[in-house]
Chains A and B, each alone.
Chain A
Amino acid sequence: MSAKIIGKDDIADLLDTLIKEYEVFAPVKRDNLVVFDRIHSGSEAFLNYTTSMKSPKEILLPQSETLFTYSSTDNAARVEVPSGEERPRLLFGIHPCDARALLFLDRIFNEEEYRDVYYLSRRDAMVVVTLGCIKPKATCFCTSVGGGPFSTEGSDLLLIDMGEEYVVQVVSDKGKGLLENRQFEDAGEDELSLMRKVTEDAEASMAPKLKIDMLKEKLDKMFDDPLWDLLTEKCLSCGVCTYLCPTCYCFDIVDETEDSGGERLRIWDSCQFPLFTLQASGENPRPTSKERYRQRIMHKFSYLVDSTGQIGCVGCGRCVTECPVNLDIRQVLTAISRS
Chain B
Amino acid sequence: MPDLSSRIREVAEELFRQKEVELIIGFEEGSMPLHSTPCFIRNEQEVERLTWNSFCDNNLATYLVKRPEKVAIIAKGCDARAIVELIKEKQIPREQVVIVGLPCRGMVDRRRIEAELEAHEILEVDEQDDKLTLKGDGFTKALNRDEYLYPCCQACTHRNPGTYDILIGDMVAEKAADQYPDIAEFEAQPPEERWQYISDEVNKCIRCYACRNACPLCYCKECFVDKTRPQWIGKTTDTNDTFIFHIMRAFHLAGRCVECGACERACPMEVDIRKLNRKLAADVKELFGYEAGTSLDQAAPLATFRPDDPEDFMLGV
Task: Spell out A's residues near B (CB within 8 Å).
Answer: 30-33, 48-50, 53-54, 63-64, 135, 137-139, 205, 230, 233-234, 236-240, 243-244, 252, 254, 256, 265, 267-268, 270, 273-275, 320-322, 324-328, 330-331
Interface assignment of B43: CB less than 8 Å from any CB of chain A:
no
Question: In the complex, how many angstroms separate the beta carbon of B222 from the nearest chain A beta carbon?
Answer: 8
> Scoring B residues 213 to 230 as 1 if CB is less than 8 Å from chain A, else 0, what string do you get?
110000001000010000
Contact B121 A138 (CB under 8 A): yes
Is the Cβ of B121 less than 8 Å from the Cβ of A137?
Answer: yes
Contact B38 A240 (CB under 8 A): no
Which residue of the partner chain B has the closest CB to A136? B121
> Can you report 30 A-B residue pairs in the complex whose CB atoms are below 8 A from each other?
A31-B270, A33-B269, A50-B121, A54-B268, A63-B207, A135-B121, A137-B121, A139-B32, A233-B38, A233-B40, A234-B37, A234-B38, A234-B39, A236-B62, A236-B213, A238-B213, A238-B214, A238-B266, A239-B208, A240-B208, A240-B268, A243-B268, A267-B235, A268-B206, A324-B58, A324-B210, A324-B214, A325-B58, A326-B35, A326-B36
B301 proximal to A (CB < 8 A): no
From 222 to 272 in chain B, residues with beta carbon under 8 angstroms from any chain A beta carbon are: 226, 231, 234-238, 262, 265-266, 268-270
CB <8 Å contact, B270 and A32: yes
Contact partners of B315 in chain A: CB under 8 A: none
Which residues of chain B have C-beta atoms less than 8 A from A236's C-beta?
62, 210, 213-214, 266
Interface SS of A by simple majority: loop
A30-B204, A325-B38, A326-B32 in contact; A273/B209 too (CB < 8 A)?
A: yes
Q: Are A64 and B236 in contact (CB under 8 A)?
A: yes
Which chain A residue has the least Cβ–Cβ distance from B40?
Answer: A233
Instruction: Indicate if B314 sits at the interface (CB-CB under 8 A).
Output: no
Known: A236-B62, A238-B266, A240-B208. A320 touches B31 (CB 8 A): yes
B119/A326 in contact, CB under 8 A: no
A63 contacts B236, C-beta separation under 8 Å: yes
The answer to whether B208 touches A254 (Cβ under 8 A) is no
Number of inter-chain CB pairs below 8 Å: 108
Inter-subunit contact B111/A326 (CB<8 Å): no
When C-beta atoms are compared, the residue in chain B nearest to A331 turns out to be B31
Task: List A contacts of B234 (CB < 8 A).
Answer: 254, 256, 265
- B contact residues around A274 at 8 Å (CB): 221
Max chain A Cβ within 10 angstroms of own Cβ: one of B37, B62, B262: B37
Beta-carbon nearest neighbor of A62 in chain B: B237
Q: A135-B119, A240-B208, A243-B206 are in contact. Are A33 and B270 (CB under 8 A)?
A: yes
Contact residue among A64, A234, A331 (Cβ-Cβ distance under 8 Å from B237): A64
Task: Give B225 Cβ to nearest chain A Cβ, in Å.
Answer: 9
